[in-house]
A and B are shown apart, each in its own frame.
Chain A
Amino acid sequence: MGLLYGLIAVGLALIFGLMDVTNFAHGEFLMIAMYLSFFLFAFFAIDPLLSAPLVAAAMFVFGAVVYLLVVRFAMRAKANAGMVQIFTTFGLAILMRGLAQYFFTPDYRSIPQSWAGGKTISVGGIFLPEPQLIGAAVSILAFAGLYLFIHRTDFGRALEATREDPGAVALVGIDKNRVFAFGWGLGAALVGLAGAIMAVFFYIYPDVGASFALIAYVTVALGGFGSVFGAFAGGIIVGLVEATTALVLPPSLKSVGIYAVYLLVVFIRPRGLFGSM
């Protein structure tokens, strides 16, 4: 479960953590991705795990378009840019939820059978559900990929440089909007992957994003802003803490443990575990 939170958080780590843009619509990105894989399954009978790359590609375009149409302008604000970002993306989240309710109705949907759904694998006598395992594997791959991408490619450096000083970056011929649009696309594609995998074993409804988004923010902040590895570590910690809390407290209180650990960590280390900002 921790790695799944990690998978949702990795896209957010890119947008929120590396580009320093607050995105309160991240949960709604997840929701859209889940609906995409649901409809691909319902109309074309494509298994969610096979359609995951398609969903990711569609979400890439969606993320880039959202950046170019809306977020770009929110970042231009000279005064209280933080608040403008928060409320622009919050408005966007409400808008997306409303659209989902309008077109998809508020009904709960689920994907009844898929190639991996409901199967389990026995590892040394412990039965593990297969979709979760696949999610975990994809999550590790996604993190490794993003880590290499940020630290080993020109684009990764351009991204960090753009966040640090957009003016100087423009002088050396990097187009800020192209870099950030690509970053948003990539972040949305990653949450698209998460959505496709989660569509297999979660109910899909217009408000589904909200319950995961807060955990994703906590995961990113716990690991520390500006660190891909931090978000990965944050995801694992969140998963472990949640599982441990569930043993001690009633299930409805399981998130309390996660929140308490976040507070504890930032009181001791105000920049999160591996944060650089």
Chain B
Amino acid sequence: MDKNFAVRRRRDLIVAAVLAGLAALAPLFIKDVYVQNILILTLMYAALSQSWNILSGYCGQISLGHALYFGIGAYTTELLFTKFGVLPWFGMLAGGVIAAIIAMGLGYPFFRLRGHYFVIATIVIAEIGLLLFQNWEWAGAAMGITIPVRGDSWLKFQFMRSKLPYFYFALALCCLAWFVTWWLEDSKWGFWWRAVKDNPEAAESLGVVVFNSKMGAAAVSAFLVAVGGAFYAQFLAYIDPESVMGFQFSLLMALPAVLGGIGTLWGPVLGAAILIPMTELTRSYIGGSGRGVDLIVYGALIVAISLALPQGLVSLFSRSKAKGATR
């Protein structure tokens, strides 16, 4: 088994490198700004979902409050940028570190909770964050922050003329999240997390420090999501509490991983690659009527995929592989 695992890991890495290379070349052929926009969002959701997957998929602590970290990343970056003139690159790191610290601070009481009690606690804490930001005058309250234009440069991470730099950053972030997951999968942490997910009592008795491994997963996951939030804020050049910290966002972040395959390396990427273009296309082609047809289609598709493939889309691949093995 060990040998197969090593072979599989090497193959995963090669496939990822090829895919990333192809994605990097995509803008040479795709000049349409609308399509580029969809690609950027797809990559961003893939990165977010991959990060969410570390805590919720691998470690089994289902969080539906990750919008909190996303919002913290976005707000830290923009508050530092607009109020103190700190470059977004530093804001991004600061946001990530703050989010990771908050995640660990919250983990201290939260990780004692099990099942529904934990999930509801994560929803509730994100909701508190949302309400506080909506009422925080200095941070723009419910109106949010419009990011002023300070020039078109990598230094300030603002690009007016072309969306391509955003595309490459999103691609890099997606690769980073994937690579971190890939690397952790085979580390001590990865094995601990799976043990914690399957049976925390047994893991504890075998010497896994359950609490610390949950904390580690929460910190990594929150950091990456916050960096994603910082990116999103620079990309849209406008943020408000509802759009970066709302409950919907927590679900949207989890959805690609769940549809693609929760707790798997490829699930989030696969889920995002199918879900996000679908969402955007239904929204722009049939959502214009304002009568909610896009919601009907979107909702029906989510129900259909969750029912038809409870293990996610990756199970399609492993099923065909399993057949090949028995032959």
Contact = CB atoms under 8 A, between A and B. Distances in A.
Given A22-B116, A79-B310, A91-B302, A98 B292 contact: yes
A83 B292 CA distance: 25
A81 B292 CA distance: 29
Contact of B296 (A95, A225, A272): A95
Given A100-B292, A263-B121, A270-B112, A255 B301 contact: no
Interface residues of B, number: 47
B298 A252 contact: no
Given A83-B62, A267-B112, A73 B307 contact: yes
Contacts of A266: 113, 117, 121
B262 A80 contact: yes
A74 B307 contact: yes
A256 B131 CA distance: 7
B13 interface: no
Contact of B310 (A78, A93, A206, A250): A78
B37 interface: no
A105 interface: yes
A87 B255 contact: yes
A147 interface: no
Interface centre among B62, B109, B124, B127 (most CB of A within 10 A): B124
Nearest to A79: B311
A144 B302 CA distance: 37
A253 to B, nearest CB: 6
Contacts of B247: 214
Nearest to A271: B117
A97 interface: yes
Contacts of B123: 214, 217
Nearest to A90: B251
Interface in A195-247: 206, 214, 217-218, 221, 225
Contacts of B297: 98
A217 B134 CA distance: 22
A94 B298 CA distance: 8
B280 to A, nearest CB: 16
A98 B302 contact: no
A101 interface: yes
A272 B294 CA distance: 39
Nearest to B106: A263
B62 A99 contact: no
Contacts of B64: 86
Interface string B291-311: 111111111111110110011
A80 B303 contact: no
B125 interface: yes
Contacts of B299: 91-98
Contact of B307 (A16, A88, A102): A88
Contacts of B113: 266, 270
A225 B132 CA distance: 29
25 contacts: A70-B307, A73-B307, A80-B262, A80-B311, A82-B115, A83-B62, A86-B64, A87-B254, A88-B306, A90-B302, A92-B299, A94-B302, A95-B300, A98-B294, A102-B293, A217-B123, A221-B116, A225-B116, A262-B120, A263-B109, A266-B113, A266-B117, A266-B121, A270-B112, A272-B117
Interface of B: 62, 64, 109, 112-117, 120-121, 123-125, 127-128, 131-132, 134-135, 247, 251, 254-255, 258-259, 262-263, 290-304, 306-307, 310-311
Interface of A: 16, 22, 70, 73-74, 77-84, 86-88, 90-102, 105-106, 206, 214, 217-218, 221, 225, 250, 252-253, 255-256, 259-260, 262-263, 266-267, 270-272
